[in-house]
Structure 1
Amino acid sequence: MSQWLIILNKEILEMGRNFKWIWFPISFILLGVSEPITTYYMPQILDSVGDLPEGAVIKFPTPSAPEVLFQSIAQYNTIGLLIIVLASMGLIAAERKSGVAELILVKPVSYFSYVTAKWAGAMLLLWVAYFLGFLASWYYVIILFEHVSFTVFFISFGVYGLWLSFALTVTVFFNTVFKSPGVVGFVSLATIIILNLVSGMLAHVLEWSPAQISDYTSTILTGGNMPDEAWGAIAVTAGCIVGLLALSVSVFRKKEHT
């Protein structure tokens, strides 16, 4: 356990030296607040930049507070996923490519400790950034629109966080398969995009797919309750995270022995 904690502490310090503890949360906060602010001030923005005839009036249907909060989640489902992959695509691959991983593993460091500690450090960064971003979004939604209950906020936060955790774990897995961070990033994004597309086209069949969590989060926010189908997706997503992490250790051990 002490070995695992040492690697975790090293990873946390390394992320600090690379300023990830600064730019990563800031990116998520900006994504979180941009949607409610833009939605609220959109008529004024169009009025100030649009070349409209004199006397023209712009009217938009005012979205509900839960809808605006879900639109913030939609930002995480696009730009947020891209940031996660870009920030973690060199997590293990970069050290493998430079030879640092071999130097660490020459010491009595287990493959399990190395991979899982790296994953835990990245996961800690993700959840801190995601919490701050989603909290900022919730705050601005309350200020500019109307109140969204803390219970709905907390449940949707936890459920959607599983999908982001799954995306991060996919990236960690490909870190153990490929040595090039660029290849890791490309394959990880391609995998996530394909899973989203397939799950969207076969939504009635793949109700348990991790990619469906985004839709279930929308239902939680707008309806205030957890749909029955969401439990299957949550269980499958959690199982995939554990399975991918175990597979990452196994693949990494084989790759380093060959």
Structure 2
Amino acid sequence: MNHLATLVRVELTEAAKEYKYVWLTVFFVLLGLTQPLINLYMDIILQQLGGSIGVILDPNKLDPTPSEIFLSTISGQFDQIGLIILLISFMGLIATDRQNGMQDFILTRPVSIHCYVYAKLIAHWFISMFSIGFGILTSYICTVYLFGSFSITKLILFSVLYSIWILYLTSLVIVISVYVKHQVLIAVSAIGISFFLLLIKNVDLAFSDLLPSSILNVAEHQLVATYDVSYLSIVSCLVLIFFNLLWASKKLKN
């Protein structure tokens, strides 16, 4: 446990030296502000862009609820450009240690491979959620101020479930990193797999329960109850995280 705490502290310190807490947090805060403002001024934007063609706005359309506007921030910003930047920030997670010899140095000390892998997971998950948490809070405050309030309890439940998805993405990058040496290829592979999982999570609801990305359906259900969801996807996501870590540890041991 002491070794784990030490390795986590080292990872967090390195992130601080790289100002990762600062630029990632600023980035997600800006994303959190963007979507509520777009929703607020969407009608004006469409009218201005209409030109001679013209844009007809349905006067009978229903205004989105505050929770729907908040979810559009997550699905439209965090799960697209936010996910890309986050995974790019992960690409040196293990590759950097391999290149500078730090991995060999650590693993030749009385530190277990599992401890090394878990430290990577915990530290980078914490860094991610630190930044994303500020983005979520910013989006919530902006949405409540501009459109009205929704339950803070539902927001917390959503954030907890969303954090499990981030935990899975971190474990995914760890697995890819033990097989792929080049950082750019690590980032491209992780982004490709992540977007593929997001794309197919609603194709077949029975099959999608086995996908880690389906936990996002459960998270969204906490805010907008549009259809029945299976909480089995939470278990599936946690099991896949465990197997990713086991897989990475076994590869490093070999």
Q: Do they superpose with TM above 0.5?
A: yes
CA distance in 2, matches of 1:228, 1:35: 26
Partner letter of residue 26 of structure 1? V
Q: Residue 239 of structure 1 aligns with which residue? A: 239
Partner letter of residue 15 of structure 1? A
Where do residues 23-172 of structure 1 align in structure 2 (5 Å cutoff)?
23-47=23-47, 49-50=48-49, 52=51, 61=61, 62-74=63-75, 75-172=77-174
Q: Residue 253 of structure 1 aligns with which residue? A: 253
Displacement of 1:125 in angstroms is: 0.6
Contact preservation (8 Å) 1:220, 1:227: no
CA distance in 2, matches of 1:180, 1:85: 14
Partner letter of residue 200 of structure 1? N
CA distance in 2, matches of 1:56, 1:72: 24
Contact preservation (8 Å) 1:81, 1:164: no
Displacement of 1:168 in angstroms is: 1.7
SS at match of 2:208: coil
Question: RMSD over aligned Cα, in angstroms?
Answer: 2.3
Displacement of 1:56 in angstroms is: 8.7
CA distance in 2, matches of 1:84, 1:169: 13
CA distance in 1, matches of 2:202, 2:229: 18
Q: Deviations over 1:58-89 (max 9, x none)?
A: 66743111110110110211122212210111
Displacement of 1:196 in angstroms is: 2.8
Alignment length (residue pairs): 250
Contact preservation (8 Å) 1:95, 1:101: yes
Contact preservation (8 Å) 2:121, 2:167: no
When the two structures are superposed, what TM-score results if normalisation uses the length of structure 1?
0.87
Contact preservation (8 Å) 2:21, 2:130: no
Displacement of 1:189 in angstroms is: 1.7
Residues 220 and 102 from structure 1, CA distance in 2 versus in 1: closer, same or farther, beyond 3 angstroms? same
Contact preservation (8 Å) 2:46, 2:55: no
Contact preservation (8 Å) 2:11, 2:120: yes
Q: Residue 179 of structure 1 aligns with which residue? A: 181
CA distance in 2, matches of 1:163, 1:100: 29
Identity value in percent? 23
CA distance in 1, matches of 2:3, 2:216: 37
Partner letter of residue 3 of structure 1? H
SS at match of 1:83: helix
CA distance in 1, matches of 2:56, 2:188: 45
Contact preservation (8 Å) 1:43, 1:59: no
Displacement of 1:199 in angstroms is: 3.0
Contact preservation (8 Å) 2:125, 2:166: no
Uncovered stretches (5+) of structure 2, i.e. residues with no partner: none
Residues 4 and 216 from structure 1, CA distance in 2 versus in 1: closer, same or farther, beyond 3 angstroms? closer
Uncovered stretches (5+) of structure 1, i.e. residues with no partner: none
Partner letter of residue 148 of structure 2? E
Residues 111 and 207 from structure 1, CA distance in 2 versus in 1: closer, same or farther, beyond 3 angstroms? closer
Q: Deviations over 1:77-110 (max 9, x none)?
A: 1122212210111111121123221123233222
